[in-house]
Amino acid sequence: MKILVSGGAGYIGSHTVVQLVAAGYDVVIVDNFSNAHPTVLARMESLTGTSIPLHSFDLTDHDKTEHLFATEDFDGVIHFAGHKAVGESVEKPLDYYENNLGSTFSIVRAMQRYDVDKLVFSSSATVYGEDQAAATEDRRTYATNPYGWTKVMQEQILRDVAVAAPHMRFALLRYFNPVGAHPSGTIGEDPSGIPNNLVPYIAQVAVGKREKLMIFGGDYDTVDGTGVRDYIHVEDLAAGHIAALKALEETDEAVHTWNLGSGKGTSVLEMLRAFEKAVGREIPYEIVARRPGDIATSYADPTKANAELGWSTKKTVEEMAADTWRWQSQNPEGFAG
């Protein structure tokens, strides 16, 4: 089986590529390195002991995408590529719609033209809008920012394609909060600039790059007043993609939606404590105002994915913190170091 992995040099993509190769798949990556570093390829190759073909182009380019499909005989696609920063999407909505929808158009057109019928799509819990507590897949989808709308819209586009081309198979994977790194400490999340997300921010405070964590809100209606999220180790998330790909090989249904989360909520302070345990010292923080657009609580009901994929999360919050810390402390400057 030969799988195209779009965005395969990125954070979740790279961990999934390593697991795909270990599971015996041939992998071809397309990535434009808009949010990835070229060094990741050598790291993936050293982890897998094999050379991994990588094409560096922008998937919104229909001609280049079609050319790739014409020259490779893909059996399926895992589509990670996309912009993902909520705040930036509010500043640059057209860039988000053009990039995220455009790359999906190119990929699905090329799939149809070259008879590739399986697509695993990176969606997000963001499609549940503000209703993310104990979210089940049948919940109404909507978004509260342009990034979120690109995910809602891409899901809809794929559903519409499935009606017109009922032989195709789509897995819409709604990720909760991916964190952690490969246990080797050689690949991990490497955000450019100031991290938007909690765990990369804590990691940079712990390694001395930032002074202290700002906790956005201490007065939510949660266990300790801080925001609660369903953190999922990137290795468990990667395994979910392989399980979804296998399920698409066997199913008669065109579209499947699966939540990929643990089902367990962890507060900001609980994550901070887990990180302090991994690092072995206290991490400075300050509780400040809520971040606009944040919700109090988000966690998956993963029952459907557990039952239908035979998949569940295995790794604890302590392992998420320990693996993130190994990656961050071994690579204080990320892939550029």
The stretch among 13-21, 208-216, 232-240, 249-257 that binds ligand UD1 (CB under 6 A) is 208-216
Report H helices in the chain: 11-22, 39-48, 62-71, 86-91, 93-96, 102-113, 146-164, 198-206, 234-250, 268-279, 303-309, 317-330
The minimum distance between CB 5 and ligand UD1, in angstroms, equals 19
- Cβ distance to ligand UD1 smaller for residue 97 or 216: 216
The minimum distance between CB 220 and ligand UD1, in angstroms, equals 8
Select the residue interacting with ligand UD1 from 107, 215, 248, 278 (CB under 6 A). Answer: 215
Q: Is 229 in the site for ligand UD1 (CB under 6 A)?
A: yes
CB within 8 Å of 125: residues ≥ 6 apart: 132, 135, 174, 175, 176, 177, 230, 259, 261, 298, 300
147 is catalytic: yes
- Cβ distance to ligand UD1 smaller for residue 196 or 312: 196
Selected catalytic residue, list 11, 25, 128, 147: 147
Select the residue interacting with ligand UD1 from 216, 225, 270, 306 (CB under 6 A). Answer: 216
The stretch among 65-73, 110-118, 276-284, 293-301 that binds ligand UD1 (CB under 6 A) is 293-301
- Cβ distance to ligand UD1 smaller for residue 22 or 90: 90
Count of chain residues binding ligand UD1 (CB under 6 A): 19
- Restricted to residues 68-87, the positions that interact with ligand UD1 (CB under 6 A) are 86
Select the residue interacting with ligand UD1 from 293, 310, 332, 337 (CB under 6 A). Answer: 293
The minimum distance between CB 44 and ligand UD1, in angstroms, equals 21
DSSP result, 13-56: HHHHHHHHHHTT-EEEEE---SS--THHHHHHHHHHTS---EE-
Euclidean distance between CA atoms 122 and 32, whole angstroms: 17
The minimum distance between CB 154 and ligand UD1, in angstroms, equals 13
Euclidean distance between CA atoms 248 and 7, whole angstroms: 20
Q: Is 171 in the site for ligand UD1 (CB under 6 A)?
A: no
Tokens 């961050």 appear where? 328
Select the residue interacting with ligand UD1 from 19, 89, 126, 331 (CB under 6 A). Answer: 126
DSSP code of 297? B
Euclidean distance between CA atoms 130 and 12, whole angstroms: 24
DSSP code of 221? S
Q: Is 291 in the site for ligand UD1 (CB under 6 A)?
A: yes
- Restricted to residues 184-203, the positions that interact with ligand UD1 (CB under 6 A) are 196-198, 201
Q: Indicate the burial class of 101 (C-beta count within 10 angstroms; 0-12, 13-18, 19 or more).
A: middle
Strand partners, 6: 30, 79
- Restricted to residues 246-275, the positions that interact with ligand UD1 (CB under 6 A) are 268
Degrees to nearest 5, angle at CA 332 with 193 and 187 = 90
Which residue has the CB atom at the shortest distance from ligand UD1?
A: 227
Please report, as a single letter, which amino acid is at residue 6: S
Q: Which token pair is 35?
A: 């949010």
Q: Is 294 in the site for ligand UD1 (CB under 6 A)?
A: yes
Select the residue interacting with ligand UD1 from 180, 227, 263, 302 (CB under 6 A). Answer: 227
- Cβ distance to ligand UD1 smaller for residue 42 or 288: 288
End-to-end CA distance of the chain: 35
Catalytic residue set: 147
What residues make contact with ligand UD1 under the rule CB under 6 A? Answer: 86, 124, 126, 148, 177, 196-198, 201, 214-216, 227, 229, 268, 291, 293-294, 298
